[in-house]
Homo-oligomer: A and B are copies of this chain.
């Protein structure tokens, strides 16, 4: 069996590539070469100095910040690929790039799958990511057994469909988060205990990942741990809105969400955790959600 290659050893890619190494020869590349060497030392992978070194693999996995960086890698590596190679891109990329990149790779006999992941850094470490894949299902079937970082792989449609679903998922995350932030601000201004309110909401119909996890763990605690940057989420909403525009979809609510997250990014800073968007809601309402005081109980956050 030919080796698998992995390019982009960031917070997600580093542990993902480690899972690949458990089942066969794995070549790794990173813009900062030292990271690739550290990965090789730790997991027995083979660090490549140059992108061309990845070309002897028949499965290339990329995990980069945006489709722009994927293009940069692809323009160097693509002409060296062997016919039959599969390029599986785990970046949260742009559907229109997926179509263009698939087209571009076809001239070298290679197949492209857009395959963004969800599950965060915790899921990457545990090898329990969900992968949403766009492209030829027969190609996916061929490489799916080798995706050792995944717990669930779902084929969602043609080229670009994976990126589309990822962008909409993240746009919904943003919408649910912002809506909850506004609702909690209204409750706080009315003197309602937010911990109690969330306990009720999470047992009721208004619950979401934002109310169940993000706000109790990151906002009410005032920790805002920067595991997913606000600037990247705002970029993803932009992809979601591009998707809507190109399909002539009418999404007035999601469009407003995009404007509000852009504002939050400008005011709060793109490097902050995405949940720090709620700091803008706090500012617009003259109220703070939660408190810095540590929770004394054992049942989770009760701050108001």
Interface residues of A (CB under 8 A from B): 95, 118-120, 130, 132, 152, 154-158, 160-161, 164-165, 168-173, 175-176, 178-180, 182-187, 189-193, 196-197, 199-201, 203-211, 238, 240-241, 243-260, 262-263, 265-267, 281, 283-287
Contact = CB atoms under 8 A, between A and B. Distances in A.
A288 to B, nearest CB: 13
Contact of A248 (B120, B160, B260, B262): B262
Contacts of A158: 191
A171 B183 CA distance: 8
Contact of A183 (B172, B187, B206, B266): B172
7 contacts: A156-B196, A156-B200, A158-B191, A182-B244, A182-B254, A250-B262, A253-B260
| Interface of A (DSSP majority class) | helix
A256 B184 CA distance: 17
A252 B247 contact: no
Contacts of A206: 168-173, 176, 209
Contact of A204 (B130, B253, B260): B130
